[in-house]
Structure 1
C-alpha cells in the first residue's frame, strides 16, 4: 500500500466517514476557571462537525461516564460524537473536570458548572458552528448521565458567571444507563462518593437524587438502559421516566433485555441499537412538545 492510500485509510478510521477533523477549545478561554486550584486540569470541548453542507443545525454536548473519577471517552463520548456527526448533528465532547478536592474548591458543584459553561459557550457561538441555539441537547453516560440529569433538573442553580443571561437549559437530554439517584437503595456508590464524599447528608442525598428534582421545565428526555445492569440499577432510569411522565415532560425509553453496563453506542447483545433510534428521535423532532 502506498503512503497516500495509507494516510487516507488512517484518517477514515480516525474521524469516520463524513466527519471533519476535530477542534479542541478550552472551556473557559475568556474566563477564569471557577473553583480551580493551581495545577488543576483545564476543561475543554472537542468539536465534531458534520461533513460540509450536511449539518442539520442541531448540536449535542456529550459527557462520558467514569464514576465521577474519570471520563470513558474512548468507549462512550468519542464514538457517540462520531455517530452524531455522521448523522449531521454537530457534537461537542465535554471534558468536564473530575471532582477532586486537591484540584478545586467545592468539588461537588464543579462538573455542573462545567456542563453549564458548555451550554453557554455553544449557545453564544451558535452562528460560528452553523447551528440553531434552540436545538441544543446534552447526552450523558452513567455518571455523565447523573451530571446531565442534574443540568436538566437544577435549572435555577448556577454559580457560573453569565453576563449575557444566556439560557443554560438544554432543549433535550439523552441519558445512557444513567446514575440518577443518590438514595442508598439505588445509587452507584462510587459516583456518590466521588462527587460528594463519605459524609453526605440526608439533604444532599435528596438534592442529588434527580428523580426527586424533576419539574415541568425539565427538558424532554431519551433514556436507555439494560434491564440486567448490575452496576447501575435500571430503576434509576425507570424512576426518572416515571417522574417525567408525572410532570408531563416528553420521555422516550429504550430498554434492553440484556446489555449489562457500559455498552456505549453499540450493544453487542442486541440487534437494534439505541443510538440509531435516538438519532431518529433527535432529527425528527420527536423531543419537541
Structure 2
C-alpha cells in the first residue's frame, strides 16, 4: 500500500489566502478573514481501471479545504457539484460552497467524480470512496467522525442522496476501505436535487447515468425517495417552485419520505429562481438559503 498511497493520495498543500465569507448576519456579508489550506487527494491509484479519465483533469479526486483554526474536532462536508452526470459544475456548486463552509470552520471537500462516459456505479463508487477517505483521515484533518456530511446540487444531489439512503448499495473491489470504513453520512444537504428517475425526473441525468435503455429495476433502485428509511441521516433541502429543469416535486418526494420514516428534515422552497443558482449571490431573496443552511448546521 505504500506505493499505492504515493500514487493516489497526491497532495498539493498550499494556502489559498484569506476568505471573507460570513452570511450569518443580515445585510452585506461581514469580512471574516480565515486562512485555508487546500489539498488534493486522488481517489484511486493512478493507472487503475477507476483512474482512467478521458482527460487528465478528469481524474477522480477531492479538493479538501482545511480552515486554519484551533479546533481539532470539526464537522466536515463532502460537496458533490451537479452537471447532469455529464459535466462537473465545480465553481458555483463546488469551490464557492467549500469556501463558505471553511469560513465557518467546517472542513469541506469538493468531489470530482467520474461522469459522461462513466455510468453507474462509477460516480457512486467515487463518492463512497471520498467519504471513506475523509473518515479514515479524520485525525489528520481534525474531523469529528460522527459529523461527516454529504451535500449535492442537481445531479450531484442525486449522487449525495444515493449515498445517504443506500451507503451499502455497492462496494468497489478496488476500495480497500470498503470493508472497514463506513461511507454513511451523518447529515445530507440537497440543493434542487434530482431525486426520482420516474415522473418529474430529470431524464438527462438518468440517461447519462444509466443509459437510454436502463434496467427498470435499477431505475426504481435509484429513485432515492423510495429508498429512505429510518436510518437515513437528517436532511436539509432547498428548491425553487418554478425550477423548469428539475421540478420541485423531486424535493417534495424526498421530504415526504423523510416525514413518513420520522427522519428529521428541513425544506425551503422559494417562489422563483432558475435551476443551478448555486449560492445565488445576485438574488437577494434566494441567497438567504445559505443562511438557513448555516443555522441548521449551527447546533452540529
* Cα distance change on mapping 1:140 and 1:57 into 2, 3 Å: same
| Alignment coverage as a number of residue pairs | 269
Range with bigger deviation, 118-127 or 45-54? 45-54
- Corresponding residue number in structure 1 for 2:293: 278
Deviation at 1:195, TM superposition (A): 0.3
Matched, 1:68 2:90: no
Q: Is the 8 A contact 1:223 1:237 kept in 2?
A: yes
- Corresponding residue number in structure 2 for 1:58: 75
* Cα distance change on mapping 1:34 and 1:240 into 2, 3 Å: farther
Say what the alpha-carbon RMSD is for the aligned residues: 2.3
Secondary structure in structure 2 of the residue aligned to 1:156: coil
Which one of 120, 134, 138 corresponds to residue 122 of structure 1? Answer: 134
Q: Is the 8 A contact 2:132 2:178 kept in 1?
A: no
Q: Is the 8 A contact 1:60 1:138 kept in 2?
A: yes
Which one of 164, 167, 185 corresponds to residue 152 of structure 1? Answer: 164
How far, CA to CA, are the matches of 1:89 and 1:55 in structure 2?
A: 11
Structure showing the higher strand proportion among its residues: 2
- Corresponding residue number in structure 1 for 2:28: none
Deviation at 1:135, TM superposition (A): 0.4
Which one of 183, 188, 204 corresponds to residue 218 of structure 2? Answer: 204
Matched, 1:143 2:155: yes
Structure 1 residues 205-220: aligned runs within 5 Å: 205-220=219-234
Matched, 1:90 2:90: no
Matched, 1:229 2:226: no
List, as ranges, runs of 4+ consecutive aligned residues in structure 1 with deviation greater than 6 Å.
13-16
TM-score (ref. length: structure 1) = 0.86
Q: Deviations over 1:207-245 (max 9, x none)?
A: 111111111111111000001101100000001000011
Secondary structure in structure 1 of the residue aligned to 2:200: coil
Secondary structure in structure 2 of the residue aligned to 1:52: coil
Range with bigger deviation, 173-182 or 159-168? 159-168
Q: Deviations over 1:138-160 (max 9, x none)?
A: 00000000000100111221223
Q: Deviations over 1:172-200 (max 9, x none)?
A: 000000000000x2111111111011101
Which one of 203, 212, 234 corresponds to residue 189 of structure 1? Answer: 203
User: Structure 1 unaligned runs (5+)?
Assistant: 1-9, 102-106
How far, CA to CA, are the matches of 1:24 and 1:212 in structure 2?
A: 35
* Cα distance change on mapping 1:13 and 1:122 into 2, 3 Å: closer
* Cα distance change on mapping 1:74 and 1:55 into 2, 3 Å: farther
Deviation at 1:92, TM superposition (A): 0.6
Secondary structure in structure 1 of the residue aligned to 2:181: coil
Secondary structure in structure 2 of the residue aligned to 1:132: strand
Deviation at 1:66, TM superposition (A): 0.3
How far, CA to CA, are the matches of 2:241 and 2:140 in structure 1?
A: 41
How far, CA to CA, are the matches of 1:173 and 1:209 in structure 2?
A: 16
Which one of 241, 247, 261 corresponds to residue 247 of structure 1? Answer: 261
Matched, 1:23 2:35: no
